[in-house]
Amino acid sequence: MMGETVEPAEYDGAMETSAIGIEPGDGHEPTVVVLKGEHDVHSAPAIGERVREVIGEGRALVIDLHEATFIDSSVLAAMLAARQAAREAGVGFAVCCPTDGSVTRILELTGLVARLPVLPDRAGAFELVRKPIA
């Protein structure tokens, strides 16, 4: 996996390393952007850049939040923009996230579970992004 480490965030003296990993898909599998740790306004631009690159290359995209411990509204906005860009480009897009935890709760509270295709695992996300765009 190729990945990029983003600046660590400091909260109450504890350091949380945030990383954005890229797992390039082959001809049949989507590219996966993996978010690890805490992501906020500091890492959202890098997330947006990575997803725009993938979509711009015409590749289906899955954002994997299983290792994310926190996301803020700037990351939610980046995911919504990615969904729109994927739709306009005619490529598949999905988010996979565990069925419990703080990140899932943020998606539920903001109503984005209904607006984004959010699935509990990669297998479901991969299946969804392979379907033709309606």
Between the alpha carbon of residue 74 and those of residues 5, 47, 54, 64, 103, the distances in Å are 18, 10, 19, 17, 13
Q: What is the pLDDT of residues 24-81, one digit of tens each?
A: 988 778 999 999 999 999 999 999 999 999 999 999 999 999 999 999 999 999 999 9
Residue 8 confidence class, pLDDT cut points 50, 70, 90: very low
**Residue 28's pLDDT is what?**
78
Q: Where are the domains of the chain?
A: 2-91+104-130
**pLDDT on residue 74:** 95
Among the CATH numbers 3.40.50.150, 3.40.1160.10, 3.30.750.24, 3.40.50.2000, which is that of 2-91+104-130? 3.30.750.24
Residue 4: per-residue pLDDT: 44
Predicted pLDDT of residue 25:
85
